Structure 1
């Protein structure tokens, strides 16, 4: 039976739920109640940060949920609550995609214009968000950057997904940010490509036309080996699940990888571009 909620009871936001869980864990700790100052010392943060989080005031630093789980031995509770906070920070159209991304065992990306969000540095992302919304406040831009960087936690876990990325050559050559920002972004990209779970390839500018060339495309494969295709267009994302269309898209992606430079040659090209900046 579904538990009924009083109509006058306010609906908690994910951020408020995180704060309430933290306060309860701190005050009801089996080994003895912790003050906010005590918890701050254990978490290597400030009392004001703990107070702010418990009141549901953003932001929550991306490293703290794991720290709280370790302190309170909560078996990933705070990590899960944080993932919900991050998910809710995205427009509704993107939330299902974010959920699928978090659970994926394999992520394949095709990027025709910019570095995919899972690999962006803070300043690269900030430049993109500022261009997309020039009237946004600095706080709004910073919140968007934090949400994007929080998605990258899935790459740093104990069992990261297998990732394949094909970038159009124009992505690494386009200079829409300062030289320092672009150099840092390319360096991070190279570092990620060195991981055993990540393969980076660059599609040359003179490659043959292909059916995926117009939009960024992401393939997300779940633990049951079912793959969906996410296609991003202007301010929206489409999720393709019909098996025939998915198979067609996978074949097109296989064609991209065969046309692209090898992982070694791709890394050399990215490194060469860094040196020209």
Structure 2
């Protein structure tokens, strides 16, 4: 379920061809466009060749620099097919506009809290292993999702993560040090609640696996669940209610936000 679909790849290549056409009409080299938009020549080349999904900032700056009159901005709205695998696209759209989101993770740091280095280690460790370009596309897409943390209006975000997640040195100690510092930074955001579930717990409401609870702009409550080879959105309110009850118990069983910060600082000091 980790591969992008063919339609997404075609969309990305088409977007790149339009960027190249507009750049040519403007009489700019890749290096010159990169200087104007604040990105490297290599980045411009990667987007034009359909090897890299452009971040929104790149799209906005390029549209203005090339006098595209919104053509690139409109085209970028269709890049979700390329940005995310097909099984994740619906959730990604809902997540971007969520009023609130509550997440339980038992294996890795949640994507919206990951550093670039940690994300690259997670994606690069997938099986079967993705090629370098695919790793870069997935990492860029994951980092783009992190606008959720700071967009206006701010959503209410809650995270419960297992203690093993903050102790497992994915990517090595240096990568993990940066990731733990990022968790501490996020824990200080007023709209974020971060809790750690201690391994020593004798009772645990989340033994059936990770989950995400999401509230949409129109006040619908949805749930999202991923497994080894599939994922699905849950909209039936009876089922969503069960998962909300479980998450409530999880938060009660986990360390408090203050205790969680202390544990993360402890682990950081042990690296």
Indicate the TM-score class for this superposition, using the shorter chain for normalisation.
0.7 to 0.9
Alignment partner for residue 266 of structure 1, among 237, 249, 260? 260
Bigger Rg over Cα? 1
How far has the Cα of 1:95 moved from its partner?
1.4
Match of 1:13 in 2: 10
Kindly tell me: are residues 218 and 11 of structure 1, through their superposed partners in 2, closer, same or farther at Cα, counting changes over 3 Å? Answer: closer
Unaligned stretches of 5+ residues in structure 1: 1-9, 28-32
Displacement of 1:81 in angstroms is 4.3
Q: 1:124 aligns with which of 114, 118, 126?
A: 118
Verify: 1:240 aligned to 2:237, yes or no: no
137, 148, 171: which one pairs with 1:154?
148
Gaps of 5+ in 2: 1-6
The correspondence for 1:109, drawn from 103, 120, 125, is 103
CA root-mean-square deviation: 3.1
Corresponding residue for residue 182 of structure 1: 176
The offset of 1:194, in angstroms, is: 1.1
Residue 3 of structure 2 corresponds to none
Cα distance change, pair 241–211 in 1 and its aligned pair in 2 (3 A): farther
Question: Do structure 1's residue 98 and structure 2's residue 92 form an aligned pair?
Answer: yes
Question: CA 1:272/1:79 → structure 2, altered by over 3 Å: closer, same or farther?
Answer: farther
Q: Deviations over 1:49-104 (max 9, x none)?
A: 54654x45221442312434665798987566445424434322221111211221
2:131 to 130, 137, 147: 137
Q: Per-residue deviation at 1:242?
A: 0.5
SS of 1:14's equivalent in the other structure is: helix
**If the length of structure 2 is used for normalisation, what is the TM-score?**
0.81
Partner of 1:58: 51
After superposition, give the CA deviation of every residue in 1:123-144 in whole Å (9 maximum; x if it has no partner): 2222222332254333332332
Q: Give 2:28's aligned residue.
A: 36
- The answer (yes or no) to whether the contact 1:88–1:95 under 8 Å persists in 2 is no
4+ residue runs over 6 A deviation: 23-27, 72-77
Name which of structure 1's ranges 162-171 and 201-210 shifts more when overlaid on structure 2: 201-210
| Count of aligned pairs | 262
The offset of 1:237, in angstroms, is: 1.0
Query: Shift of residue 204 of structure 1?
Result: 1.7
